[in-house]
Amino acid sequence: MEVVIVPDAKAGGELIAEAMAQLLRRKPDALLGVATGSTPLPIYEALAAKVRTGAVDASRARIAQLDEYVGLPAEHPESYRSVLRREVLEPLGIGMSAFMGPDGTAADVQAACEAYDAALAEAGGVDLQLLGIGTDGHIGFNEPCSSLASRTRIKTLTEQTRVDNARFFDGDISQVPHHVITQGIGTILEARHLVLLATGEGKADAVAATVEGPVAAVCPASALQLHPHATVVVDEGAASKLKLADYFRHTYANKPDWQGI
């Protein structure tokens, strides 16, 4: 696992957007796994800016969703499908025909989950998967004690996650669904490159457990330690509880320029 400490969220967004741009220059139809939440927004803004200036062409990119609320109609403004359409597809000029995600309104949720895992494999697998992290260490919606081998499936949210996400529902927790579909941890680990961005002191404990704690289902993000190409990008606040921060700074500062993340 590589840990990159950046000065702020904007710098993290720029670094990751450049890695995505480099991938798209190599593989224009790359399958990009995208995450929701506030944290990845600087990545999407930086990538959209590159598209606008012609620094990269994202028109052939394909987009895969990480997770979704169960029961919200697809057109609900806070369904993750709607959020991603607004925040990723439209700014990058990518049509919905290049988008894939689980169906949160399916009558048979389990079948929809299995169909999504199969579709990801059929599409050749995710090339680069963006991840945020919950305050409890969750990735996607894999809450603590999710199996590290899990596949896409339905999960029940913890109250903390519902409280954290109520801000997207007018601060009204009663509007936050209890159930979600999420790519499993085993599914996520199949992506070729995992890039987790965490910003702010509120994520510092979760980041420390992810990077320096044991691999343990109680901190789902710690599964990144099992991946051969995982990059954790953190700002100073999110890095503030890392005991090895100086080591990570030194290693990244002395990395060969050509290597990227």
Ligand X SMILES: N[C@@H]1[C@@H](O)[C@H](O)[C@@H](COP(=O)(O)O)O[C@@H]1O
Whether 212 is a known active-site residue: answer no
Query: Contact at 8 Å (CB) between 138 and 196?
Result: no
Active-site choice (68, 138, 193, 235): 138
Q: Contacting ligand X (CB under 6 A), which of 4, 16, 19, 35?
A: 35
Whether 143 is a known active-site residue: answer yes
Q: Does 34 bind ligand X (CB under 6 A)?
A: no
H-helix or E-strand spanning residue 76: none
Active-site choice (136, 164, 193, 235): 136
> Distance (Å, rounded) from C-alpha 225 to C-alpha 195?
12
> Distance (Å, rounded) from C-alpha 137 to C-alpha 205?
8
DSSP letter at 1 equals: -
Neighbours of 7 (CB within 10 A): 9
Contact code string over 154-193 relative to ligand X, x by CB under 6 A: -------x---x----------------------------
Contact code string over 107-146 relative to ligand X, x by CB under 6 A: -------------------------xxx-----xx-----
Whether 138 is a known active-site residue: answer yes
Closer CB to ligand X, 5 or 66, in the complex: 66
Q: Does 101 bind ligand X (CB under 6 A)?
A: no
Q: How far is the CB of 165 from ligand X (least distance, A)?
A: 6
Output the DSSP codes for 3-56: EEEESSHHHHHHHHHHHHHHHHHH-TT-EEEE--SSTTHHHHHHHHHHHHHTS-
Q: Does 209 bind ligand X (CB under 6 A)?
A: no
> Distance (Å, rounded) from C-alpha 232 to C-alpha 157?
24
Whether 29 is a known active-site residue: answer no
Known catalytic residues? 67, 136, 138, 143
Which residues sit at the interface with ligand X, rule CB under 6 A? 35-39, 66-67, 132-134, 140-141, 161, 165
